[in-house]
Amino acid sequence: MYRRLLTAVLLACAVGLSACFLRAQTGPQDQGYYTYVSHWAVPRSDWAAFEQQEKSTEAIMRKLVGDGTIVAWGILAERVHQEDGYTHSDFFTATSRANLLKALETVWGSATSSGFVAATKHFDEFLHTIAHGGNPVSNATGYLRVTEWQARPGADHALQGYVLNQIKPVLDKDVANGTILMYNFDEEDVHSHPPGLYALAIFFPDGAAIDKFFAEIAAAGKQDPTVGEVIDNLTVAKAHRDSFNRLIAFEHK
């Protein structure tokens, strides 16, 4: 499904948004960012307690946004579960590794609570956020759709360039009109997978925004069904992965 999302975005880029690309802003949103993500597998019987524990960290995260340490954070619950997959996650994004690590050390102590101890497995990601966009919002909820794909050997720079030059302006437009709360385009900064792994995370305020997003890009895609071949030529199809999460709590500076 999310592969189709990328294809449709590419189609929209090709057939209807060239003027938007020329007007794309190059302000603070284009600087480098870093994102830390924690994933947890929690038994179903402990979901409520775990989510309550996660919510107890909100005051800390709001303070970190307020003092400029981080620019965004969120608490998530998986909505499309895998047999051996993860059930919950949380993240925060900062403008430097130093600020990301400052935030990490601030929240580290809470990970020893009984809610976190109940998790049966856990892993973290330290990401370089190549592109980021978002509007100020607090006390928000919504949904997160993420796609991960592997660049073909030698295609890393071409894939990055295509996303930055063609997809990012579309996402910026939808941030500006409120369809999207935030997006991150990430690669691993601390590698736990082979080089060439990329992820595009798009945060929506509600299901209606998701429908609007897909309707717009589907309409554009009908005009030229061949443009999606670009992403096929740059990525390894069998390495593609998607996830879909409920955004329990979210804030963006």
| Domain residue spans of the chain | 2-17+28-252
- Given this model, what pLDDT does residue 118 score? 78
The pLDDT assigned to 9 comes to: 55
Single pTM value for the model: 0.86
Tokens of 10: 């590419």
CB within 8 A of 188, min separation 6: which ones? 125, 126, 127, 128, 195, 197
DSSP assignments along 58-115, one per residue: HHHHHHHHHTTS-SEEEEEEESS--TT---EEEEEEESSHHHHHHHHHHHGGGGGSHH
Q: How far apart are CA 49 and CA 10, in angstroms?
A: 41
Q: Tell me what pLDDT residue 19 has.
A: 37
> How far out from the chain centre does Cα 11 lie?
21
Query: 57-60: long-range contacts at Cβ-Cβ below 8 A with a sequence spacing of 24 or more?
Result: 57/90, 57/107, 57/110, 58/249, 60/106, 60/107, 60/110
- Short-list 141, 3, 4, CA closest to 77: 141
157 by Cβ neighbours in 10 Å (0-12 / 13-18 / 19+) ranks as: exposed
Give me the residues of the chain with pLDDT under 50, please: 1-4, 7, 10-11, 13-29
Instruction: Please give the single-letter amino acid code of residue 82.
Output: Q
208: nearest Cα among 129, 119, 145, 142: 142
Per-residue pLDDT tens for 103-162? Answer: 999 998 765 666 677 788 999 999 999 999 999 999 999 999 999 989 999 999 999 999
CATH 3.40.50.720 for domain 2-17+28-252, yes or no, is no
What does the DSSP 8-state code read for residue 152? Answer: P
127: enclosing H helix or E strand: strand 121-134
